[in-house]
């Protein structure tokens, strides 16, 4: 494991992924290796190859020296895994070295065109659809209308179509508040470098025909904010943690320089300041910029980019600040002016019938430059060793189609050796990061909507190890199709393949039922595992959306690959409920182990009224 600027992350509560658990490592007969990627902060620095793969390779090779000294001369097998930006780095590690790693498990990885485009299109949609997102969520939930475009005006329909065709999975909209907070921080962190590489864009957007800001719709004019104010108080990272609040990625991992994580202003403007640039107009940090990722009254949470971060420790009470979201608004349609080669089909919506861009294009396509900046290389698909990719079907940033793009690169590079070296497992009912219930959670809790896929990563590591060391081929890749930016998988486990069990849940025989308080409701779940991935070892019920799955189903045995369970439940209060069953499979049919547990969930809707 490697986190830039942090060599103590594996057992930190800020990284709840169980694939990092030392217990899993020891149970699997391995040793665990962690580094800070040669950095004291989260940023890649002047030479991205150092944090991208060279430090990891050096540490991995030296670990073999230590292992030989401790256990006698031998060459341990080695495996790397990482997600999101770590997915880029994991691929960079295997593509740019030989003899270091025998296999890798990149997960939730994207393409060289992801930055900043997946964040920009998402931010654009959230700005326009903000008031309509609850109705969109209701439409795509079990028992909903299925028409997420109902009641949208023309601008809203266009924004939803645009982001959906770019690959955002509609089922992920339920989490839009977390998405807005978390990824505004990521996008604004990237703005420093976009401004450095393409400085004239942010003026052209507001002045040059063909850009949205040059002929702005009323919604864009209403959204623009420019407001001068004064800093009344600094809020440091430790203060935020004591309050139980989340930090932006940059504020949480900034490094050895103490920079405020939030500011209390004398005044803040009306409207949405999320994403706004905070231009320091006086004091030691004059001329520098931080970014607003959320506001609570006059308190604003911060993110920072690499260009400005080292100087922001100089912020003081009394400094003058201009709150201006012009650059953030401009960034929201940057993807329209970054149309890449035809292999990136999700950009077809921005091409005319002759394949030419519909909008003015910037002098440089920045995506690959971002990818290199973050990983020290750009994916080619060329590697030696074994690779199992795990991507999720509800991923809000590493849009699912992106794994298919890299798969095509691998197939082109490996040719006849493709199936001997590569697998792609798509995981349903999972987003970019594992679900965590917060103190402010509303029902249905996030753990009844998505799974923790850490156990799947653990099984992937064991499978890639068996593949490399013993020649035991892992389960087949997931069967899927890609259309209009969306990845679709077959409905049955036998057709879908991959590694995840498939569960079909019904209530009174359907997806939805309307009943009176006190009326008994019947639930039926059919669970199947794909071929050669083990058996069903667990099933848990959460009828009221609390998130703790209080009822455990007693299975007849834990050796079956096909299980049907039935139960009843009576709701005592009116409301709309999404009863959920969480099912678990395991390769060795072990119901007690904590590790390599493969989950999925089934959900239905129950509307309870008073008679």
Give domain status of residue 585, yes or no: yes
The answer on 417 and 354 residing in a single domain is no
- Range with the poorest average pLDDT among 21-25, 142-146, 402-406, 456-460: 21-25
Give the pLDDT confidence of 45-80 residue by residue, as tens digits.
Answer: 789 999 999 999 999 999 999 999 999 999 999 999
Q: Within this chain, do residues 105 and 120 fall inside the same structural domain, yes or no?
A: no
Last residue of a domain, one of 319, 349, 365: 365
The pLDDT of residue 112 is 97
> Is pLDDT larger for residue 306 or for residue 313?
313
First to last CA, the chain: 56
Mean pLDDT value of segment 18-28: 79
Q: Examine residue 250 and state whether it is found in any structural domain, yes or no.
A: no
Same domain for 103 and 122, yes or no, is no
One domain, residues 378 and 353: no
Q: Where are the alpha helices (DSSP H) in 109-200?
A: 117-129, 133-140, 154-166, 176-197
pLDDT band at 207, cuts 50/70/90? very high
Least confident of 188-192, 198-202, 370-374, 489-493: 188-192
What is the domain-level CATH number for residue 67?
Answer: 3.40.50.1820
Closest to 140 measured CA to CA, from 150, 148, 149: 148
Question: Can you give the pLDDT at residue 252?
Answer: 56
pLDDT surpasses 80 at 603: yes
CATH number of the domain that residue 535 is part of: 2.60.40.650
> Is 304 a member of any domain?
no
Q: Which segments of 66-134 are extended strands (E)?
A: 79-83, 103-107
Query: Considering the domain boundaries, does residue 287 fall inside one?
Result: no
Provide the CB-side half-sphere exposure for 64 (13 A, CA): 15
Is the domain of 360 the same as that of 397? Answer: no
Q: Are residues 529 and 604 in the same domain?
A: yes
Say if strands 277-280 and 386-392 run parallel, antiparallel, or are unpaired: unpaired
Span of 97-111, 123-137, 436-450, 534-548 with lowest mean pLDDT: 436-450
Please indicate, yes or no, whether residues 525 and 592 belong to a single structural domain of this protein.
yes
User: What pLDDT score was predicted for residue 70?
Assistant: 94
pTM (2 decimals)? 0.94
Kindly indicate the confidence band of residue 582, based on its pLDDT and cuts at 50, 70 and 90: very high
Q: Are residues 531 and 556 in the same domain?
A: yes
Same domain, 106 and 123: no
Q: Is the same domain home to 546 and 520? A: yes
Please give the average per-residue pLDDT across 358-386, as a whole number: 96
Q: Which of the four pLDDT bands, split at 50, 70 and 90, describes residue 550?
A: very high
Please write the tens of the pLDDT for every residue from 163-186.
999 999 999 999 998 898 888 878
Of 417, 451, 470, the domain-final residue: 470
Residue 88 lies in a domain: yes
Closest CA to 131 of 272, 226, 292, 326: 272
- Number of folded domains in the chain? 3
Q: Which two tokens stand for residue 300?
A: 């604003």
Q: pLDDT digits over 233-256, tens only? A: 999 888 877 766 666 666 655 556
Rounded distance, CA 49 to CA 232, Å? 41
Round the average pLDDT of the chain to a whole number and report it: 93
Domain range holding 573?
501-609
- In this structure, the number of other CB atoms found within 10 A of the CB of residue 562 comes to 11
Give the pLDDT confidence score for residue 471 in this predicted structure: 98
222 domain residue, yes or no: no
- Rounded to an integer, the average pLDDT of 599-605 is 98
Percentages of the chain per state (helix, strand, coil), in multiples of 5: 35, 20, 45
Q: How many CA atoms lie within 13 A of 148 on its CB side?
A: 23
Q: Is the pLDDT of residue 225 over 90?
A: yes
Does 389 share its domain with 422? yes
82-131 tens-digit pLDDT: 999 999 999 999 999 999 999 999 999 999 999 999 999 999 999 999 99
Would you say residue 9 has pLDDT above 80? no
Give a yes or no: residue 315 inside a domain.
Answer: no
pLDDT tier at 441 (50, 70, 90 boundaries)?
A: confident
Does residue 446 share a domain with residue 511?
no
| Last residue in a domain, options 422, 451, 470 | 470
What pLDDT shows up at residue 12? 64
Residue 310 inside a domain? The answer is no
pLDDT for position 407: 98
Question: In the prediction, which pLDDT does 71 show?
Answer: 92
């Amino acid at each position: 494991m490697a986190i830039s600027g942090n060599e103590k992350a594996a057992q930190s509560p800020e990284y709840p992924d169980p694939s990092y658990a030392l217990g899993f490592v020891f149970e699997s007969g391995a040793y665990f290796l962690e580094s800070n990627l040669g950095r004291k902060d989260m940023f890649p620095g002047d030479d991205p190859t150092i944090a991208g793969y060279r430090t990891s390779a050096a540490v991995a090779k030296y670990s073999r020296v230590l292992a030989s000294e401790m256990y006698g001369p031998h060459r341990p097998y080695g495996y790397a895994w990482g997600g999101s930006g770590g997915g880029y780095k994991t691929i960079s590690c295997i593509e740019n070295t030989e003899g270091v790693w025998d296999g890798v498990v990149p997960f939730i990885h994207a393409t060289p065109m992801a930055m900043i485009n997946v964040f920009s299109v998402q931010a654009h949609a959230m700005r326009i659809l903000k008031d309509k997102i609850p109705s969109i969520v209701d439409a795509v939930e079990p028992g909903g209308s299925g028409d997420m475009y109902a009641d949208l005006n023309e601008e809203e329909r266009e924004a939803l179509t645009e982001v959906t065709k770019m690959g955002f999975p509609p089922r992920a909209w339920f989490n839009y508040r977390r998405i807005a907070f978390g990824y505004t921080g990521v996008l604004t962190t990237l703005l420093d470098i976009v401004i450095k590489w393409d400085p004239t864009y942010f003026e052209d957007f507001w002045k040059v025909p063909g850009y949205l800001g040059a002929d702005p719709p009323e919604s864009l004019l209403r959204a623009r904010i420019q407001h001068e104010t004064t800093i009344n108080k600094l809020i440091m990272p430790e203060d935020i943690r004591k309050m139980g609040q989340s930090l932006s990625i940059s504020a949480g991992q900034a490094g050895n320089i103490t920079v405020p994580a939030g500011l209390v202003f004398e005044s803040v403007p009306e409207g949405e300041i999320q994403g706004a640039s905070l231009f320091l107009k006086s004091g030691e940090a004059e001329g520098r910029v931080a970014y607003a990722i959320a506001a609570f009254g006059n308190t604003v949470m911060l993110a920072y980019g690499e260009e400005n971060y080292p100087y922001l420790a100089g912020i003081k009470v009394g400094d003058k600040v201009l709150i201006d979201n012009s650059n953030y608004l401009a960034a929201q349609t940057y993807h329209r002016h970054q149309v890449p080669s035809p292999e990136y089909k999700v950009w077809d919506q921005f091409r005319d019938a002759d394949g030419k861009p519909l909008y003015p294009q910037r002098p440089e396509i920045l995506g690959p430059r971002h990818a290199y900046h973050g990983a020290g290389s750009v994916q080619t698909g060329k590697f030696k060793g074994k690779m199992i990719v795990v991507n999720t079907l509800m991923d809000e940033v590493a849009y699912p189609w992106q794994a298919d793009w890299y798969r095509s690169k691998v197939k082109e590079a490996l040719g006849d050796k493709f199936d001997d070296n590569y697998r792609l497992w798509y995981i349903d009912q999972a987003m970019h990061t594992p679900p965590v219930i917060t103190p402010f959670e509303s029902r249905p809790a996030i753990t009844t909507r998505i799974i923790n896929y850490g156990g799947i990563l653990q099984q992937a590591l064991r499978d890639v190890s068996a593949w490399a060391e013993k020649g035991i081929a892992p389960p087949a890749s997931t069967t899927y199709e890609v259309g209009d930016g969306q990845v679709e998988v077959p409905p049955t486990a036998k057709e879908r393949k991959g590694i995840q069990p498939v569960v079909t849940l019904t209530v009174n025989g359907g997806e939805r039922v309307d009943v009176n308080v006190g009326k008994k409701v019947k639930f039926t779940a059919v669970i199947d595992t794909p071929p050669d991935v083990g058996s069903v070892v667990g099933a848990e019920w959460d009828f009221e959306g609390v998130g703790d799955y209080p009822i455990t189903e007693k299975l007849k045995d834990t050796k079956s690959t096909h299980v049907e369970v039935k139960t009843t439940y009576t709701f005592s209060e009116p409301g709309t409920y999404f009863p959920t069953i969480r099912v678990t499979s395991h390769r060795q049919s072990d119901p007690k182990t904590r590790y390599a547990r493969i989950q999925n969930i089934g959900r239905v809707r129950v509307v309870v009224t008073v008679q």
